Structures are given as C-alpha cells and as structure tokens.
Structure 1
Amino acid sequence: MDNKSLSDYFVSTVTCINVASLMAKFDDFCAFVDTYKPTIIMVSETWLTSFITDVLISLDGYTIFRSDRVGRGGGLCVYISDLVLDNFTVTPLAGNTGGIDSLFLKVINSSTTFAQGCVYRPSSSFLRTI
C-alpha cells in the first residue's frame, strides 16, 4: 500500500441511492454506474436475501459489501471501486442499530483512516431508536 490519500480517488463521487429492489432495477443501476463511475456507491432498500449471491449483483471494477435485512424489504450494500481497494484496506465494522438498517466500513491505509456508513431508517422504526 502506498500513501495516497482518499482525495486521490475523487471522493466527491460518493453516491447514495435508494433502489427499492436492486435485482428489479439492476440494468438501470448498471447504466447509472457506467455513466457516472462513482468511487463509492451506497445503496439502500436492496431487498436482497441470502439466496441472491454477490455474483448476480456484481459490477466490473467494484467490490461489494452487503447487509441484508432478515425479513421483507430493506437491506443495504456498498460498492467500492477496486482502484480504492488497491491502496486501502476495507473492513466491515460490527454494530447493532436496533431496527435501523446500517452498514459501516473502516477504510484505512498508512496515512488515512475513516469510516464510511450507509444507513436507512425504515418508516416502521421508531424515531427514538436513532
């Protein structure tokens, strides 16, 4: 790993999108990614289950991190460009946010450390759980 900072990877291209079923809209999602080429893509309401493998939702040039909701709806995933992963180590962070979908990643190299989070509060959750 070298000492590149995250700004070398155009952090301004972090994208957050609510897809309400990634599988149903995967072609449109791929077209969006191909057009804008974001460095980090945070996706809420993926509606993925353990029966849907990463291979089915993979993107060339990206690595996926997932947090599927148990039960209907919800779920999150984060795609990170392999260009970032060539110079940074990314590790999922454990945590329980009780009723709120969350996925936090620790991103680190020899000069930079930060946490990237994707959070979705379903309308059925209580505000006080935040």
Structure 2
Amino acid sequence: LSEMNQLNKRIAKEKMCYPDEYGPNELYDQLNMYIDELANYGDISVTKHSNGTISVDMAGVNVLNAEKFKTNSLVMQDYYTNGQVVLNFESGEEVNLHSGVLKAYIDSLNGNGVYATGRQNGE
C-alpha cells in the first residue's frame, strides 16, 4: 500500500505538469501491477479520480485514500481467549474477507480451511 500511495503522489504531480496526452503511462502500469497483486489477497474495489490517482477499498474499508494520500494497513491480532486469529485494519475495523489468500490463511489458522476436520470447526 505504501508503494501505491507513493505512485499516487507521483501521478498527481505528473498530471499537474503535463497535458493528458502525455500522461504518466509507466506510473499507471506500475500502479496496475500493484492493484493486481492486492486483488490476490481479497475483495477490492478501485475508484479512479480525475487527477489520475486511485482510491482502494478492501472488504468495504478504505485502504488507500488518494485525497489524503493515506493508507490503512492490515494488522493480525493476537489469539483471543477463544483461540481465534483476527485480522483488523490499522484503523481498528475488523476485516471481513470473502475470498483471497488472506481469507485462506486466516481460515487455516483458525481451523476453518478447506481441509479442516469437524473437530477443528467445533463440531
């Protein structure tokens, strides 16, 4: 996310300095690469802005804010008394993923993965 944030800053600066036909295409390519990588981790939604920057939401929570050039990283919380691992955003909001690598990882840690036995699921 921090790399995406830096690219957003550079794109905004480039768009102010050059006309649209000479846009920062190489920077857009780099940003698209990071978007593709981030999409592997979970559900994301990308919003493009008129200044060429993007904002990204993951699991319904803003993780890249183009207007303020801020990020909201993910933090894995320690085990709670019930033995479950929880993934939260830096802002404190709980992550509710429906797909992706992070969901699979958390599910496996909590005994809810595709190969979990009934005993691990609390059955």
Shorter-normalised TM range = under 0.3
**Hey, which of these two has a bigger chunk of helix by percent?**
2
> TM-score, normalised on structure 2?
0.26
> TM-score, normalised on structure 1?
0.25
Larger radius of gyration: 2
